[in-house]
Amino acid sequence: AQSVAQPEDQVNVAEGNPLTVKCTYSVSGNPYLFWYVQYPNRGLQFLLKYITGDNLVKGSYGFEAEFNKSQTSFHLKKPSALVSDSALYFCAVRDTDSNYQLIWGAGTKLIIKP
């Protein structure tokens, strides 16, 4: 069965430091991977996705993610964190086995401290 895991429930980073939010996946075919961000009491906003091609994907708000096939990971990164980056981050993988729905990670709360 296809799955996605976000091993960290919460990540704490000091403002200005680099940040990484981890995501690992398990798929039977080609992976289609997505990152979303959710601010309090708001809907989810799309950040970036990997479909094919370059392993380093750049997205909104200065975020990027690196696709690593051998490690089955798709970690979200940003070189310099902002306090405004504090939010809930979701990784998702497309279920290509059945109905092409997104399988969601449990979410990682990112806290950026001034």
| Span interacting with other proteins, options 17-25, 28-36, 62-70, 77-85, rule CB under 8 A | 28-36
Site string for other proteins, 43-62 (x = CB under 8 A): xxxx--x-x-----------
> Which residue shows structure tokens 């981050």?
89
**Which residues are registered as beta bridge partners of 113?**
14
CB of 16 to other proteins, least distance (A): 27
Residues 6 or more apart whose Cβ sits within 8 Å of residue 22: 6, 7, 8, 73, 75, 76, 108
| Span interacting with other proteins, options 11-19, 64-72, 79-87, 95-103, rule CB under 8 A | 95-103
CB of 81 to other proteins, least distance (A): 21
Determine, following the binding rule CB under 8 A, whether residue 1 of this chain makes contact with other proteins: no
Residues 6 or more apart whose Cβ sits within 8 Å of residue 96: 2, 27, 28, 29, 30, 32
Torsion of CA 9, 109, 83, 37, to 10 degrees: 140
Which residues in this chain contact other proteins in the complex, by CB under 8 A?
32, 34, 36, 41-46, 49, 51, 88, 90, 94, 96, 99-102, 104, 106-107
